Amino acid sequence: MKKHQKHTKLARPNYGNFHRQEWAIIGTPCGTIQQLSQKIIKSLSADFKIGYVDADHADETENSKKDPSSFTAGAAQQYTDKIDFHRFDRKGALNYFQYRNIFNGEDAVLVNGNHFLAKQQILVIDPKKEKSLQKKLDRLTEVVMILFTEGISEIPDYLREALAEQNLKKIPTCSITDISTIVRFLKESLKNNLPVLNGLVLAGGKSRRMGKDKGKINYHGKPQREYAFDMLSGCCEETFISCRPDQSADPDLFGMPLIFDSFLGLGPFGAIASAFRENPNTAWLVVACDLPLLDKESIEYLIQHRDTSKVATAFNSPDNEFPEPLITIWEPRSYPILLSFLAQGYSCPRKVLINSEVTLVDAPDTRVLTNVNSPEDLEGLDF
């Protein structure tokens, strides 16, 4: 008898508790973790946006004296514009689903492992915390680095036993004071875990203004959707054609890698969201079929200027200086943002870009961004 599945099985992002890339520093006093984290963040901040998670170690009485707020009057949440940064205070507990959205804009998160769990751990060998660490060995699920405090150069037997299933020989070690080595390791980890880039050709539009399928128009000796597919295939890990479910009967699409719209009736927005639903762990280079002058050189130029720390990398539109959403690299962090706009009643990819942190690039040749959506556009096209 086939087992009943209550909920739709979805591809899930590779999240930890706070972020896709997170490290808990564990095994040493909280003050040492805070100092080490500050040094790491300072060294990484020029190239990466790093978040930090910790607990407040002051008692409630001291906190209330330091931070009088509208909470005493019964407010559930308070926002304060601190000029140099923005602060939200709220009552009530947060869970990992909420943490992930809060830290979505960062490249990585450092966590005080004495108080919180994280997907990967930086283990400090410190006699001051040995008894405490022995009670938390179940938190050491994926140790990626081991740091020695002063006078320590060996891993204790109880830790060797606890980490028996992890390959200790491959885990790098160094002194906790060797900040340059620690930072170099974390930089390499960040660079080696950048999302791969997939391509997506938008071919699911109904081409009402054109009066015929724009994806099938032959500008370069083959249908435009195939031409765009071939261009992206040379630049991306994998490339797919985005189309409507009813296009499955199109014989010209047989054998092509397809992603069918699962967010229906939302146009290009739905196509992009459907690609992320298929694979939320890759970035998507999205190209529309109404850009007949687009060439491989322009696509490569956009990829060269890709900024993985941002929501997306897009060309400036030559017409209005707004982002051009349908020749854009959408990073994995854009998926929850797209869904949040949809939840607020918006399905315009350009609106998402305008209201998000993106990198905008001027195309070397603005003609490549020429849209052809109608017979009049087609007539006036100049190759």
Q: What angle do CA 58, 62, 67 make, to 5 degrees?
A: 105
Q: Are residues 187 and 224 in the same domain?
A: no
Task: Tell me which of 217-231, 242-256, 304-318, 364-378 is least confident.
Answer: 364-378
Confirm whether 252 is domain-assigned.
Answer: yes
| 63 band by pLDDT with thresholds 50, 70 and 90 | low
| 194 band by pLDDT with thresholds 50, 70 and 90 | very high
Structural domain tally of the chain?
2
Q: Are residues 102 and 117 in the same domain?
A: yes
Q: Are residues 82 and 114 in the same domain?
A: yes
Q: Say how many C-beta atoms besides its own lie within 10 A of residue 58's C-beta.
A: 12
Q: Are residues 136 and 281 in the same domain?
A: no
> Where does a domain end: 172, 192, 212?
192
Q: Are residues 136 and 213 in the same domain?
A: no
Confirm whether 13 is domain-assigned.
Answer: no
- CATH code where residue 169 lies: 3.40.50.300
Q: Are residues 343 and 310 in the same domain?
A: yes
Q: What integer best gives the mean pLDDT of the chain? A: 92
Q: Are residues 144 and 204 in the same domain?
A: no
Q: Are residues 186 and 290 in the same domain?
A: no
Q: Are residues 259 and 302 in the same domain?
A: yes
Q: Are residues 154 and 205 in the same domain?
A: no
Confirm whether 224 is domain-assigned.
Answer: yes
Q: Per mean pLDDT, which of 111-115, 244-248, 369-373 is the most reliable?
A: 111-115
Expressed as residue numbers, the domain containing 104 is: 22-55+77-192
Residues with Cβ within 8 Å of 221's Cβ and at least 6 positions away in sequence, in order, are 227
Q: Are residues 36 and 118 in the same domain?
A: yes
The pLDDT of residue 67 is above 60:
no
Q: Is the pTM of this model over 0.85?
A: yes
> Where does a domain end: 173, 192, 211?
192
- Rounded average pLDDT over 83-103: 92
- Rounded average pLDDT over 165-187: 96
Q: Are residues 138 and 180 in the same domain?
A: yes
On whether the CB atoms of residues 258 and 184 are closer than 8 A, the answer is no
Closest of 364, 272, 258, 268 to residue 318, by C-alpha: 364
**pLDDT computed for residue 74 by the predictor:** 83
